[in-house]
């Protein structure tokens, strides 16, 4: 029934989703180009992997409902900024900031929002740099500006986040166990931040010309 409500809108949901897929392609290509250029100039590939995902219709509906927003295609486009998501896993923390700066300096990219959970990690220890950007997609009769969420993480930040995500979904835990797990996860996050710092230093040293 909920899907029906969305599909009866003037623009079909599947068309909007196709536009978001195009936006992902555009931004992914930008990162591949930057990675190539960067590897020539700085003698290393800053990007380890790029993962992309389109938010599922189920989680779109859940998000709209949890915020009491209308279940329409227009509402998705206006209110949700993470339908198209790209995760850029970088080798080193410095690479994250350089890549973000290079992306944002491109004249067809517009910054909508930035959340720096590396400089200010979340209370549970989560670290990542999040950008919401608008990118144009060129269709045969029009140019459309689409929102894309980009999450930049190092390998250490990413592995912590995926393990934390798995552990968080084990809901049948008592309060005390949950507290211990959260404390341990925070400790792991601090260790992973130290690992990134150390790796960055080792990398800087290795780049020094003798
Ligand atoms: P999925 O499937 O990964 O997309 P909003 O996105 O606006 O609803 P918020 O909290 O303002 O909410 O956005 P924020 O802080 O930018 O974080 C959104 C996304 O960041 C999440 O998306 C996760 O991908 C990631 N994230 C944020 N906090 C954590 C965390 O504590 N642990 C982990 N593992 N990931 C986190 P979704 O929608 O949750 O899921």
126 in contact with ligand 1, CB cutoff 6 A: yes
Q: Which domains does the chain have, with CATH numbers?
A: 2-160 (3.30.460.10)
Query: Is residue 1's pLDDT more than 60?
Result: no
Query: Is residue 156's pLDDT more than 80?
Result: yes
- Torsion region of 184: left, alpha or beta (phi above 0 gives left; psi -120 to 50 gives alpha): alpha
136-160 residues labelled b (16+ CB within 10 A) or e (exposed): ebeeeeeeeebbbbbbbbbbbbbeb
Q: Which residue has better confidence, 12 or 114?
A: 114
Q: Ligand 1, closest atom to CA 124? A: 31
How large is the ipTM? 0.92
| pTM of this structure | 0.92
Ligand 1 midpoint to CA 79 (Å): 15
Long-range Cβ contact pairs of 95-98 (< 8 A, separation 24 or more): 95/38, 95/46, 95/47, 96/129, 96/152, 96/153, 96/154, 97/129, 98/38, 98/46
Output the pLDDT for position 176.
87
Place of tokens 């020539």: 40
165 in contact with ligand 1, CB cutoff 6 A: yes
Q: Ligand 1, closest atom to CA 165? A: 34
Task: Read off the pLDDT of residues 82-141 as tens digits, 9 standing for 90 and up.
Answer: 999 999 999 999 999 999 999 999 999 999 999 999 999 999 999 999 999 999 999 998
Instruction: Choose the residue to mutate in 65, 161, 166 for probing ligand 1, maximizing ligand atoms within 8 Å of C-beta.
Output: 161
30 in contact with ligand 1, CB cutoff 6 A: no
Task: Read off the pLDDT of residues 18-68 as tens digits, 9 standing for 90 and up.
Answer: 999 999 999 999 999 999 998 888 778 899 999 999 999 999 999 999 999
Query: Is residue 210's pLDDT more than 70?
Result: no
């Amino acid at each position: 029934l909920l899907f029906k409500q969305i599909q009866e809108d003037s623009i079909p949901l599947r068309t909007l989703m196709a536009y978001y897929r195009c936006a992902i392609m555009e931004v992914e290509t930008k990162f591949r180009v930057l990675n190539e250029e960067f590897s020539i100039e700085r003698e290393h590939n800053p990007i380890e992997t790029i993962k992309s995902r389109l938010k599922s219709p189920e989680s779109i509906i859940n998000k709209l409902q949890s915020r009491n927003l209308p279940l329409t295609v227009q509402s998705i486009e206006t209110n949700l900024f993470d339908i198209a998501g790209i995760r850029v896993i970088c080798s080193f923390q410095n690479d994250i900031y350089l890549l973000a700066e290079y992306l944002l300096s491109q004249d067809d990219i517009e910054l909508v929002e930035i959340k720096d959970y590396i400089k200010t990690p979340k209370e549970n220890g989560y670290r990542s740099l999040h950008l919401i950007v608008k990118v144009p997609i060129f269709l045969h009769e029009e140019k459309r500006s689409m929102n894309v969420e980009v999450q930049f993480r190092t390998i250490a930040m990413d592995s912590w986040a995926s393990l934390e995500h798995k552990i968080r979904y084990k809901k049948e835990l008592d309060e005390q166990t949950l507290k211990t797990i959260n404390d341990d996860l925070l400790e792991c996050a601090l260790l992973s931040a130290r690992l990134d710092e150390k790796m960055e230093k080792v990398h800087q040293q290795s780049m020094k010309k003798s």
